[in-house]
Each structure stands twice: as structure tokens, then as C-alpha cells.
Amino acid sequence: MKRRTLIPLLGLWLLCLATPPLYAQQQGAAPQGEGQTGNGQAPARPKLSYSAEVAKAESALGWARVYHDSYKRSKEYRYLKLAGDQGLRAIEVLYHTQLSLDRTQRFYYQVRKKRIYLCTYYQMLKEDSLGFGSRRILPEPTSSRCQF
């Protein structure tokens, strides 16, 4: 074998050694790096940066607006439900982001302001759901997510 073809093959072989086998994941085994830690508890959720968390919340808000616009055009409950789900997801992300920040940081108050806006927006969605009867009212945000 020539030297030019040997080096890429060696790199491919090393890459195969570094990746976990696919059959272990297909049989229900936890992917490497996940699962339980040595003390029997599940590992904590990896902390994302402030900007990544806010981007995730803004993306969910964007989808909530898209679904709400679709609801306004079609008056179908499923779009309102999707908008509510995305709104709750954004509120949840911002709530946990705010908990991870100190009150002395300006980002704390920026996140709080966005969360107040999202809670107001979700209340508007909830008011729209009142026209569908008591069984289809959007749920309240869990615990203190919208209490200030």
C-alpha cells in the first residue's frame, strides 16, 4: 500500500475507535456521557450560555407568534394550542435562565422583562382559548412561572 492511502485509513480507524458502537444505543443502552452518575443520581442539565438560552426562548416565542397568526386566519384550536405550548416553553426557559443569574447582573432584569412580556402574551392566548369552552382553555403556567 502506498503511503498516501495509508494515512487516511489510519485516521478513519482511529475515528472508529473513538465513537461508541451504534448497536449499544439501539438496544436501549444510555449514550456515553449520559445516564446515572456514580452516586445513583441523574447528572444535572448542562448549563448553556445566557445568549443560547435567550435565543432558545426567542425562537419559541417566534413559533408561538407564527402559530397564533395561523389561528387568527383559520380559527382552529390546534394552532392556538401549539402557540400556547411554545409560549409555555419560552416562559420555562426564561424562568430557569433567570434563576441561574444573580440579581446584581443586568441580564437578570433583561430576562425578567422578557418573561413578563411572555406571560402577558400567554394570557392573551389564554383569553382567545376561552371561546372554545371550558375543556379547551389553555393551562396555567406551572407554579410561580408567571408570578412576580
0.75 surpassed by pTM:
no
55-93 per-position pLDDT tens digit = 999 999 999 999 999 999 999 999 999 999 999 999 999
| CATH of segment(s) 50-130 | 1.20.58
Nearest to 63 by CA among 83, 92, 88, 40: 83
Q: CA 98 to CA 101: how far, in whole Å? A: 5
Give me Rg for the CA atoms of the chain: 23
Domain ranges for the chain: 50-130
The pLDDT assigned to 85 comes to 95
Residues 6 or more apart in contact with residue 146 via CB below 8 angstroms: 91, 115, 119, 122, 123, 140
The segments of the chain whose pLDDT lies below 70 read 1-48
Nearest to 138 by CA among 74, 35, 67: 67
All three cell numbers of 103: 440579581
